[in-house]
Amino acid sequence: VEDGESEADLIDSLFKQDGHTIEQPRAWGNPDATLEQKDFFRVLEVCLEKLPAQTARVFMMREWLDLETEEICKELSLTTSNLWVLLYRARLRLRECLDLNWFANKI
């Protein structure tokens, strides 16, 4: 996020008034083949490090450790709504980071 630009402004800039994305994400090819590449995980790790600590932690708990919503909320003292907002933001920012730092190099 640039100086003077809030995270909400960044997210809003990705969507049209009707809620559709301004730009469709690039085709990511075969996800299974991509996940097998260790370089992908290095880039993913760098992208995760760019996230706020709480956001990255929530993402990892949900997507890597496969913990249930209730478990994460209890452990981190979060409401369900807050958890889903954090996950949404994590996925958006990770998608953008991976698109720029991994998939853009694969075209």
CA distance 99 to 106: 10
Q: Could you tell me the CA-to-CA distances from 15 to 22, 60, 65, 73, 80 in Å, in that order? A: 5, 26, 30, 29, 24
CB under 8 Å, gap of 24 or more: what pairs does 59-66 form? 59/86, 59/87, 59/90, 59/91, 59/94, 62/87
pLDDT value of position 107: 53
Please say if the pLDDT value at position 84 is more than 80. yes
Task: Enumerate the domain spans of the chain.
Answer: 29-106
Please say if the pLDDT value at position 86 is more than 90. yes
CATH number of 29-106: 1.10.10.10
- pTM (global) more than 0.75: no
Q: What is the pLDDT of residues 22-63, one digit of tens each?
A: 887 777 777 777 666 778 888 999 999 999 999 999 999 999
